[in-house]
Structure 1
Amino acid sequence: MKKLNFFRSKKGFTLIEVIAALIITSILMVAVISVFLMSQKIYTRGGDISYKQKSITNIETDLQNALATATSFTVDTIQPTSTTVYGIGFNSQGNCVEVINGVAYQTDQITALSFNVSNGNTMNYEIVPKHEMSVLKGGIVMNNIKSATLNTQLNGDDKKGYLVITLVNKGDF
């Protein structure tokens, strides 16, 4: 009898207690891992959106800088190559292209551009981005242009072309 009491008095866990502990631990680990994966996905998406917004904002800033120093502008079907102009528009493949100092930069973030001149020297523009972002609208007074007219829309589908802005001096942009 003493041997039997000796084995029963030992402290330890039963098989059912160990299985219950493993099940609870597994549930907690699955919850922690799913929260981690979800937060990683949200972080990555936020970074992508930030990149897209930064790209479009940079294009808007370039456009404003070019318009501020513009001496003239035209709408052309040929991509500009001169270093004395700034150009933005859509090539024959429907991709948005920004031309700075004769170098073309392609972006896949823009679907349409609208330009309208009011009061003879104020260029109003609208940049329509892809991917659920808000449309950028603005206007700037073109200091070197006194009287001009323009009302055009460019996009990657059926209205391809470039707004070509001639700058005051080579390299001012």
Structure 2
Amino acid sequence: MKMQFSKHYNNGFTLVELLVSLLISGVLIFTVITVFLMSQKLYIQGEGVSYKQKSITNVETELQNSLSKAIEIRVAQTTGGDYSIGFNETGDCNIGPGEYVSDQVKDIQLEIVGDTMSYKLIPKNNTMSTLSGGIVLNNFDNPDFEHDEFVNGSLNENLPKYLVVTFATP
């Protein structure tokens, strides 16, 4: 018996099928790369915002911790006392005895009524929220503190100006 061989081989892809599959693969790879680059950009932007927010939150924490131990609060042109917060000649916010500098705070607004101090920390970046709060000055010996020295309740009007806090000696 004689075998017949078919001349049509269906073992491969046609050129059109190969081009269509390459086109679909290219679109999928382009989409994946675009999503990856967008997520990387968002991560980098989020990292910058996180640094700025952390910097302002550190200022707030330092302010709250120090004011809760205050026995004397005054405004001075230079740092002094046990703790101070204010702005140097370049406009950066100095905290403590020159240990920490934040370049993210634009203004600090303070108001003392009785034994309570209200504060607002205003960031340089307008897209970030203002941190505000208040603290009861438990150990504060001077309820007649002259807060009129603050220009419009602000430490940043006439640089340099510092809020100086003195703690009770143990």
Q: Does TM-score exceed 0.5, indicating one fold?
A: yes
Residue 121 of structure 2: which of 123, 127, 141 is its match? 127
The answer to whether the Cα contact below 8 Å between 2:89 and 2:159 also exists between their aligned partners in 1 is no
Task: Compute the displacement of 1:54 (Å).
Answer: 2.2
Deviations for 1:143-172, whole angstroms, at most 9, x for unmatched residues? 2224123142122x75431111111237xx
Between Structure 1 and Structure 2, the one with more strand by share is: 1
Match of 1:116 among 87, 98, 111: 111
Kindly tell me the number of residue pairs found equivalent between the two proteins: 160
Contact 1:90 1:154 (C-alpha < 8 Å) held by counterparts: yes
**Aligned-pair distance for 1:27?**
0.7
Residue 89 of structure 2 is matched in structure 1 by: 92
* Aligned 8 A contact 2:78 2:160 in 1: no
Q: Helix, strand or coil for the counterpart of 1:16?
A: helix
Letter in structure 2 aligned against 1:104: E
Cα distance in 1, alignment partners of residues 119 and 59 from structure 2: 12
Is contact 1:71-1:168 (8 Å) kept? yes
Distance 1:47 1:85 in 2: 33
Aligned equivalents of 1:159, 1:116: Cα separation in 2: 19
How far apart are the structure 2 equivalents of 1:77 and 1:136? 25
Equivalent runs, 1:70-109 vs 2, <5 Å: 70-80=70-80, 85-99=82-96, 102-109=97-104
User: What residue number does 1:44 align with?
Assistant: 44
- 1:135 positional shift: 0.8
Structure 2: stretches of 5+ with no match in the other structure: none
User: Which residue does the alignment assign to 1:141?
Assistant: 136
Measure the CA separation in 2 of the matches of 1:92 and 1:76. 14
In the alignment, residue 57 of structure 1 is paired with which amino acid?
T
Unaligned runs of 5+ in 1: none
The answer (yes or no) to whether the contact 1:98–1:105 under 8 Å persists in 2 is: yes
- The percent of aligned pairs where both chains have the same amino acid is 41
Aligned match of 1:57: 57
Amino acid in the other structure paired with 2:68: A
Equivalent-residue separation in structure 2 for 1:104 and 1:17 (angstroms): 68
Deviations 1:104-147 (A, max 9, x none): 2111110000111112x211111101221111111111122241
TM-score (norm 1): 0.81
RMSD value, Cα: 2.1
State TM-score, norm by structure 2: 0.83
Q: Which amino acid aligns with 1:122?
A: T
Matched, 1:15 2:15: yes
CA distance in 1: counterparts of 2:158 and 2:147, whole angstroms? 19
Contact 2:117 2:136 in 1 (8 A): yes
